[in-house]
Amino acid sequence: MDIRQALNELGATPSAISEKNRRDLDENGFTILPGIIDGEWLEALRTRFEEICAREGAAAGMEVHQEKGTRRLSDLVNKGEVFDRVYAHPQVLACIYHVIARDFKLSSLNARDALPGEGLQGLHADWGADYDGQFHVCNSIWLLDDFSLENGCTRLVPGTHKGQHPRNALKDASAPHPDEEYLVAPAGTVAVFNSHTWHGGTKNTSENLQRRAMHCYYTAREHKQQLNQREYLRHETFKRISQAARYILDVDVE
């Protein structure tokens, strides 16, 4: 199997996304996919999020990253069938392929909830170098709660995916940027963004609003994954998912 066959089997053909999606990714570095998560799936994802937080406690997120002032989860590929449709979603995969434009794989599937009074991130990129003529990583944010200016929505700076890394261009990455845009959108939305684009979470200034989201992150196949999917893969996960999904995870050893 190759990436084109895997994408075709999962329905991630070029027609899965619009010309506007492609133009937004090319020009701005991100695009919005409304209504990807239906109501029933959304409730199931929220329920599973809370179950994992309760079960893992202080260890939650440790497979990849823990962050003060947030609830973090990692390795969601192996923590419930409800997540199977996330990393194999056809519209999202079609966007990822448009950005990376070559063979790719899942890097990690994590989640983050910035607590009230917390969550501010400096503008950053998920690739550690200036643009070199090709894109190496692409991410997607799956909104499990409404994103608002009050609860710490993500900010992005359009057009920065083809320039310098923010650490080489900004004096203060935590400061507001004159061109930044805010991801204000209802739960169920998915935003796909070229991970070379400058972005970051804002502070949750509310008293009690949740800001749960999943980060489904992909990398060109020649690079290491953020979480080694073969190392963490559980037998029940491998048996449950399709060969095409195994290809996206880079765990099909046949």
For residue 157, give the nearest of 171, 144, 170, 145 by alpha carbon: 170
pLDDT of residue 252: 83
The order of strands in the sheet holding 199-201 is 181-182, 154-156, 199-201
Q: Cα–Cα distance between 10 and 158 in angstroms, integer?
A: 30
pLDDT of residue 144: 98
Residue ranges of the chain with per-residue pLDDT less than 70 = 253-254
pLDDT of residue 254: 53
Q: Give the mean pLDDT of the chain.
A: 97
Q: Cα–Cα distance between 153 and 179 in angstroms, integer?
A: 16
Residues 6+ apart with CB under 8 A from 146: 185, 186, 187
Query: What's the Cα-to-Cα distance from 177 to each of 123, 147, 164, 185, 207, rounded to whole Å?
Result: 9, 19, 15, 20, 25
The tens digit of pLDDT for each residue in 44-96 reads 999 999 999 999 999 999 999 999 999 999 999 999 999 999 999 999 999 99
Percent of the chain that is helix, strand, coil (3-state, to 5): 35, 20, 45
